[in-house]
Amino acid sequence: MNFSKGPKHEKKVGQALSPVRNRLSCLSFHCKGYCLTIERLMKIRDIRATTVTVPLEAPLRHANGCHWGRFVRTIVEVETDNGIVGLGEMGGGGESAEATFRAMKTYLVGHDPARLEEMRFLIANPTASLYNNRTQVLAALEFACLDILGQAWGVPVCDILGGRLRDRVPFAAYCFFRYPNPATGEGEVRTIDQLVNNARELKRRFGFTSHKLKAGVFPQDYELEAYKALAASLPGDRFRFDPNGVWSTEQAIRFGQAIEGIRNDYLEDPVYGLNGMRRTREMIRVPLATNTVVVNFEQLAANTLNTAVDVILLDTTFWGGIRPCVKAAAVCETFQIGVAVHSSGELGIQLATMLHLGVVIPNLSFAADAHYHHLTDDIIEGGMMRYENGAIRVPTGPGLGVKLNREKLLQYSDLYKRLGSYPYDQDPARPGWTPILPNERWADPNDRRFVRVPY
C-alpha cells in the first residue's frame, strides 16, 4: 500500500517500484489530494494443455525402441489474472497428460507464480507424490511461471537465474540409426557408410564439431566399428557414445577400453545403475556420463560421496525444472563433476529452457545434446531456431523469449488427434520384441525391410 501527495509524488513512487509493480495488479483511489494505491500480486487464473505431434526427418532408432517418425509433446499455457500467458512443455501427452494439467488447476488457481518453491512442494511433495510422480508436470509449470515472471519484469529468464555468462550454447550433432522416412523412403541410417555420410552432412548444415552416436541397437562389435569409422571421418572433432544402459558391465569395460584412442567427450550410460557404472569407471580411461542414474539430488549426493559418473547430463524436465538444474550444476561445480545439458525430444519451448540453463551455468564444459535438428517444424513463432557454427543463441526477449504459433499448434494438435501416440519402447520392425538388461536381442544391420509407420 502506497501513499503519495499529488501526481508528482505518485510518479516518483511509481518509478521506484516499477520492477515490482510490473508483476502487480494495482487499484488506485484519490481522496483529498492523496493517491492511495493498493497493490496485489499476480495470481494464476487458468492452465491449459494441448498435445501435439511434430514430424521428424525419419524414425529414430534407440536401444529401447524407436521414435516412430515424430515427437509427441504436451504444450502448457499458464495464464495470470492480469492476462500474461507463460509457456511450458512436457514429453508425451494425450488425454492423460491433458487431464493431469487440468487437475493442477485445483492446486494452483489463485497461486502467485513467483512462489516457485511453494509450488514445488504443493504439487510434487516427495512423499505425497511417491505413487504419482509429478516431476515432469512440475517442470512444465515451472517453465511457464518463469516465462510469466520474465514477461512481467521485462527481462529474459536467464537474468532471473543469475544472468548470462555467454550468449549462445554449443550443441553436438545427435547421430541416430534411422529407418527411412515413411513418406519418401529417404533418410535411412543403417550401414556404416550411411552413418558417416549423415554425420558429414549434419556438420556441413549446422557446423557441429562434437558428435554423439545414439547406439545400443545393433551388436556391440558392429557399433564399435561404426563409432571408429565416425571418428576417423571427422578428424579433429570430438565424440561421445550412448548405448542407453543396455550392456553388461563386462561389455562396457571391453568397449570403453577399445575406444580409448578416440577423442572422446565421454561414454554415456554404457550400463544401468551406479554400481555398474562405478565398476566400469575403475577399468577404463574414458569419462563416464549419465542422464539415467543421476537425475535427482539423492542420486547426486550418492555419486558425489562415491564417484561412479564423471559428467552429469542435466535435463530441465527430468530434474523438475530449470532451477533444480542450476542448483545441481552448483553442486557439480563445487565437487568438480562435469556438466552437460541433456535432450529429451524437445520442441522450441523446451529448447528455450535448455538455452537459458546453458548460458547461466559456469561449468558447462561440453556441447549440449539436442534432438532438435531432426525435426521438420516447430510450434513457435518465426519457425525453428537457427544453428550458427554448431551453436544456438539464447532468446533475448522477455521470459523464455518464444511465442506460440497458434496455427502450428492447431495443425499439430490435429495431427496428434489423427495419429495418436506411439510406443516409444517398441520397435516397429520387430513386433513383440522388448529389450532386456543386459540386452542380447539386437537388431540385424543387414535387415533392409522397409518399415511402414503412421506419419
- The residues annotated with a catalytic role in the active site are 214, 342
d(CA 303, CA 308): 6
| 97, 155, 188, 226, 305 from 195: Cα distances, Å | 35, 42, 9, 8, 39
Distance (Å, whole) CA 382 – CA 408: 11
| CA terminus-to-terminus distance, the chain | 57
Q: For residue 357, give the C-alpha cell.
A: 540453463
Which CA distances in Å does 436 have to 65, 137, 277, 425, 441? 11, 28, 18, 11, 8
Distance in angstroms (rounded) separating the CA atoms of residues 310 and 158: 26
Cell numbers placing 30: 484519490
Q: Does residue 195 contact residue 229 with C-beta atoms inside 8 Å?
A: yes
**Residue 316: CB partners within 8 Å, gap ≥ 6?**
139, 143, 322, 325, 350, 353, 354, 357
Cell of 256: 570403453
| 362-399 as b/e: b if 16+ CB within 10 A | ebbebbbbbbbebbebbbbeeebbebeebbbbbbeebb
- Report yes or no: 454 and 68 within 8 Å, Cβ to Cβ: yes
What order do you get walking across the sheet with 338-341 strand by strand? Answer: 65-67, 60-62, 173-178, 210-214, 238-242, 264-268, 288-290, 311-314, 338-341
Residues 6+ apart with CB under 8 A from 15: none
Phi, psi at residue 423, to the nearest 5°? -80, 100
